[in-house]
A and B are shown apart, each in its own frame.
Chain A
Amino acid sequence: MGEPGTKAPLSLEELEAATSMRTGRKHVLSILVENKSGVLTRIAGLFARRGFNIDTLTVGPTDDEQISRVTLTVDGALHPIDQVTKQLHKLINVLKIRDLEPADTVARELALFKVAADGVQRGELMQIAEIFRGKVVDVTKRAVIIEVTGTTEKIEAFEGMVRPFGLIEMMRTGEIAISRGRSET
């Protein structure tokens, strides 16, 4: 950059504008917030009025009881992610935001599937559950409930497998995520 007063010439042609504001991929934002009333409303309200869409949202405590963590996923193809994070930063109760790099992140979601299963089908279902390292957590005459943990892709794949059996109901938590290595998320 040079010292002040250096006449290293600068050509306006060389200046480049802020790069594309839409990244085209899913973003997992890990947000530390002060544990105060109304914080979630402020975040949700901000997304609503700026026209941003939240794909998933989870809130939970951290090891500091004054601080909570909000993990939310946003589609970077639809929204300028830098605008989203800058607007979030303006909320006084938001302490820190990390836009987690997919390669450096472990993300998990928990899902419960209630699937129609009588007699014959039950065995086949349990085999599929085993392949996905799922657990059968409840069995009745007409249905089973299977618990699956994993990435969003894995859960969606499992859903695809069990849907033909007659998917009665599905519950998903939304993703939580943590960064790899020693640094804090």
Chain B
Amino acid sequence: MRAVDAVMECLKAEGVDVVFGLPGGANLPTYDAFVNGGIRHILVRHEAGGGHAAEGYAKATGKVGVAFATSGPGATNLITPICDAMMDSVPVVFITGQVRTELLGTDGFQEADTIGISMPVVKHSFMIQHPQEIPRAIHEAFHIARTGRPGPVLIDIPQDLSRAEIDYEPVTDVRLPGYQPRVEGNQKQIRQAAKALAAAQRPVIYAGGGVVNANASEELTEFATSDRFPVTCTLMGLGAFPAPHEQWLGMLGMHGTRAANYAMDEADLICAVGARFDDRITGKLSEFAPRAKFIHIDVDPAEISKNVPAHIPIVGDAKHVLAKLLIEYRAIGADPARLSAWWTRIEGWREKYPLGYEDSSDSEIKPQFMVQALYEATNGEAIVTSDVGQHQMWAAQYYDFPEPRRWINSGGLGTMGFGLPAAMGAAIGCPERVVCCIAGDGSVQMNAQELATCAQNEIPIKVFIMNNGFLGMVRQWQELFWDGKYSHVETGEFPDFVKLAEAYGATGMRFEDKATLVEDMKRAIATDGPVVVDVRVTREENTYPMIPAGQAAREMVG
């Protein structure tokens, strides 16, 4: 059979039920194979939209997302999603077309060195040099993408090789002698960690996206509640521990709660699980958690002691390690009463510094209120995606995620334009759920073209644009740190989002009144097909609290 037909067989063998892509010259053979390939293909309007949709699908379902693009510009348009998937450890397989082998290296039409360009931002990549290699490369790509620390894997297939005839035999094994992720965790180290936790007077569990990736939120919750351990999550970990919960401190980091950041600051032991001590968490590294010892559990050994030296390093998958840690910890029988003083201190912060904002006295919609209204309109049960900026932080602060895989955003790379296509992918992966995108009026335009994809395929995403007419987060920084001199941050009332939605074949709405917002949102959610809502919010509102960049948690403002 043709190699491209084998590609379809391999995708089916991997359990792929949908791919996102856009055809072009170099992957014409592949698209011919889609005609009778038995794989659902969603035609996107820009390859970046397809890449982010594959990420959204992967984050919502836990399965590997798949995106196709042609050579040259098709492949370069995928670079942002590939990099995004690398930063946030999202399992996605990208398959790009390449010019014919005889043209390679000649600057042929639509030739780009896709492997070279993407090399710094992939977990691994395969340059196909012989058509017979294709089936094995696909299976190895899926294996690498989903195991260990998940990430993006790219396969670049020259056009002539993709249409060549091969002897296809199903591949049932992978041969990757240099790739053996360690998931179990060292038993001695786990026992040591249990003892340290039992000895701690002021412990904090700091959980990240690794808990979500490992499907370990049950294990996390069970372990944390086996004693009265305070829990905080990173932006990527939200939902890994159910919010609200009496042991839940809220998110930590630059726009985290004071309770979470102050607890980290005063802790004597921090147990990091699937988190990587990013600069948005630590602030000024030399003053980060100065009294704490660190247990660091991560499936990627290179993350351990990268930014903060670990006292008890544990290389392993959060699911395996937390289950073992629970057994060891229970066996010790630590006295929960030792944490009473610590909880009194934490309760003090909670009472003194709750998340909050000054609500408007008229009909004006405050952005924080908008998120709370969406929570109410969806009973807190929606999958929520976001772009990047103020709206993302407010969504993270005010939508209490009860479960993992409900909150889908671009954390590490901070990609504007992520939310709408990610919602599209999530909606296809989870058709039974309401999928909402909280977008910024600046961000949403960066992949608004996918509204056409949603309309054509009746993908019922509900996009709520938090419209303040500014690139809000940049405006906030200019206000606070650049003497209030605004430089190129005002977007005005362009475009008219209602008309834009209608032009794409979606439903457009505009909400401006706080009093009816919840009901209006319910109406939008009940409307069939894709809906875009232009929600007019306070123009100049700042995201607080905030640790100014490069400062310590103690210096939180707002």
Contact = CB atoms under 8 A, between A and B. Distances in A.
Interface stretch (A69-77, A90-98, A109-117): A90-98
A21 B305 contact: yes
B178 A94 contact: yes
A83 B309 CA distance: 12
Nearest to A82: B305
Contact of B268 (A2, A7, A12, A92): A12
* Chain B: number of interface residues, binned into ranges: 35 or more
Interface residues of A, number: 34
B293 A38 contact: no
Contacts of A41: 116, 119
A4 B127 contact: no
A4 B178 contact: no
A2 B188 CA distance: 9
Given A15-B311, A49-B120, A86 B302 contact: yes
B119 A92 contact: no
Contacts of A16: 311
B305 A90 contact: no
Which secondary structure dominates where chain B touches chain A? Answer: mixed
Contacts of A5: 331-333
B269 A12 contact: yes
B73 interface: no
A112 B35 CA distance: 62
B262 to A, nearest CB: 19
Interface in B103-123: 115-116, 119-120, 123
B557 interface: no
A9 interface: yes
A8 interface: yes
Contacts of A82: 305
A184 to B, nearest CB: 15
A94 B179 CA distance: 8
A95 B198 CA distance: 39
B327 A4 contact: yes
B231 to A, nearest CB: 19
Contact of A17 (B198, B269, B306, B309): B309
B302 A95 contact: no
Given A15-B312, A92-B179, A45 B305 contact: no
Nearest to A91: B178
Nearest to A15: B311
A89 interface: yes
Interface of A: 1-2, 4-5, 7-12, 15-18, 21, 33-34, 37-38, 41-42, 45, 49, 82-83, 86-87, 89-95
Given A17-B309, A89-B302, 6 more contacts: A7-B332, A8-B195, A10-B198, A37-B127, A45-B120, A92-B144
